[in-house]
Amino acid sequence: MSHISPVLWQFLQHWLSNFPLWPPEASTIAPQMDALIFFMILVSLIGLTIVILFIVGFSVLYRKQRHPVAVQIEGSTLLEATWTIIPLGLFLVMFVWGSLIYFRVYTPPANAMNIYVVGKQWMWKAEHPGGQHEINALHIPVGRPIQLTLISQDVFHSFSIPAFRVKREAIPGRYTSVWFQATKPGTYHLFCTQYCGTNHSAMIGQIVAMTPDDYKKWLDESNSGNSLAQNGERLFASLSCNACHSGRADARGPSLANVFGSTLTLTTGEKVNVDEAYLRQAILSPSEHVTQGYVPIMPTYQGQISEDGVFALIEYIKSLNSNYRVEQTLTTTDLLPESEGKAAPATAEKGAVKQ
Ligand code: HEC
Ligand SMILES: [Cu+2]
């Protein structure tokens, strides 16, 4: 190689050794995803080689000098069956293998830690259950399944972490989710991979995977004083949701304790599972599905609560399943005189934020 200029040679060497063909593998799913991709590349390369060999071989064997007159071939069932069945088998392997990975990526384990993410032009905002929030960054512990609940505040975005081999659309008006488990501490790229306007290319950030100890430290340092559920509790009172959802027997709205994760029957007879997406719908457009046994008197809150606010309300409603203190707060309205229980915002707030 001495005839290449030494500067150019050095440059080439440097470039080749620093040019990663694929991102680091930093999640549990990454090696599985890569194995499938390698299999597909391998099959394609073998196919390509076979085709090229035949093209070159036949061009030489049947060139004009050796075969001046073309021979008509009427076809061969055996040959056609072979080149149909072998590729079909290979594609079916890819299909089944791919679906298995697909279902694994989109079915979060029950013990996954949930983090909420809002995408908007042009940034990502993450809300941790503990109330920590961050912009264009996401801190997570390694070795723990993390589920993201995503939504967009304006147009379509897509939340992509190449090192984890996951990506999911953030859609206006609807929750989507994705999960992953980081395996190596480090800082990885976060991209928006859906063209979303002028500054789309700047809609990037950092995923910081930390050891559990470092993560705990980070949580403590970034504490904003209130957990997401506590913010939700405040909002619940200030929007006077508790005027109807007081948990009392004579309340105009159903008790929201233990509603998350349950199955509700609607006036239409339809049964629905109460998950985050259902709660969001129930709050923003209550008339779309009315719970059996109740009249549709709940006002719509569309346009009055930000997506972050909805996250907080959902965390609060979830916390009603397990948090005794919060349940107490709800039922303290029991102790108030009748007029105060179903009162205007100011009074209602006093009732709920007390203690
Ligand atoms: C005027 C009374 C009233 C107010 C105010 C009210 N709700 Fe409701 N809510 C109801 C009634 C009645 C239902 C049951 C009928 C239905 O599904 O629309 C209901 C249903 C729900 C449901 C579905 C769960 C279930 O068990 O049916 C959720 C979640 C909910 N409300 C949350 C809220 C939140 C959060 C607020 C405040 C932002 C709020 N509500 C304000 C009366 C109210
Ligand atoms: Cu975007």
Average pLDDT (92-116) is 91
Secondary structure of the chain as H, E, C letters? CCCCCHHHHHHHHHHHHCCCCCCCCCECCHHHHHHHHHHHHHHHHHHHHHHHHHHHHHHHHCCCCCCCCCCCCCCCHHHHHHHHHHHHHHHHHHHHHHHHHHHHHHCCCCCCEEEEEEEECCEEEEECCCCCEEECEEEEECCCCEEEEEEECCCCEEEEEHHHCEEEEEEECECEEEEECECCCEEEEEEECCCCCCCHHHCCEEEEEECHHHHHHHHHHCCCCCCHHHHHHHHHHHCCHHHCCCCCCCCCCCCCCCCCCCEEEECCCCEEECCHHHHHHHHHCHHHCCECCCCCCCCCCCCCCCHHHHHHHHHHHHHCCCCHHHHHHHHHHHHCCHHHHCCCHHHHHHHHHCC
Q: How confident is the model at residue 96 (pLDDT cuts 50, 70, 90)?
A: very high
What's the mean per-residue pLDDT of the chain? 84
Ligand nearest to the CA of 196: 2
Q: What residues have CB less than 8 Å from 158, skipping those under 6 apart?
A: 167, 168, 169, 170, 192, 193, 194
Q: Among 8-22, 157-171, 276-290, which is the least confidently predicted range?
A: 8-22
Please state the separation of Cα 317 from the chain's center in Å. 21
- Nearest atom (ligand 1) to Cα of 256: 26
**Is the pLDDT assigned to residue 345 strictly greater than 50?**
no
Token readout for 207 is 């995923």
The residue whose CB lies within 8 Å of the most ligand 1 atoms, and thus the one to mutate among 241, 310, 314, is 241
φ/ψ of 5, rounded to 5, equals -55, 135
Please report the domains of the chain, with CATH numbers, ordered by start residue: 21-225 (2.60.40.420), 228-353 (1.10.760.10)
Instruction: Specify the ligand 1 atom closest to the Cα of 291.
Output: 17
In whole angstroms, what is the distance from residue 240 CA to residue 348 CA? 6
Q: What is the mean pLDDT of residues 61-84?
A: 88
| Tens digits of residue pLDDT in 247-267 | 777 778 788 888 888 888 888
Give 237 Cα–ligand 1 centroid separation in angstroms. 13
| Per-residue pLDDT at 348 | 36
Q: What residue's CA is closest to ligand 1, atom 11? A: 253
Atom index in ligand 1 nearest the CA of residue 254 equals 26
Query: What is the pLDDT at residue 105?
Result: 85
Q: Give the residue whose CA is nearest to atom 28 of ligand 1.
A: 282
Compute the average pLDDT of residues 218-224.
Answer: 84
- Mean of pLDDT values over 269-273: 85
Gap from CA of 205 to ligand 2 centroid (Å): 11
Prediction pTM value: 0.77
Q: Of all protein residues, whose CA lies closest to atom 27 belonging to ligand 1? A: 291
Please name the residue whose Cα sits nearest to atom 16 of ligand 1.
Answer: 290
Q: Which residues, in sequence order, are bridge partners of residue 353? A: none
Ligand nearest to the CA of 257: 1
Is the pLDDT at 349 greater than 60? The verdict is no
Of 92 and 14, more confident:
92
Structure token pair of residue 178: 């994705």
Average pLDDT for residues 210-214, to the nearest whole number? 93
Is 70 exceeded by the pLDDT of residue 273? yes
Percentage of the chain modeled with pLDDT above 90: 40
User: What's the CA gap between 189 and 137, in Å, rounded?
Assistant: 9
pLDDT of the residue at 200 = 92
pLDDT category at 23 given cuts 50, 70, 90 is: confident
Residues within 5 Å of ion ligand 2, judged at the Cβ atom: 157, 192, 196, 203
pLDDT digits (tens, 9 = 90+) for 155-209: 999 999 999 999 999 999 889 989 999 999 999 999 999 999 899 999 999 999 9
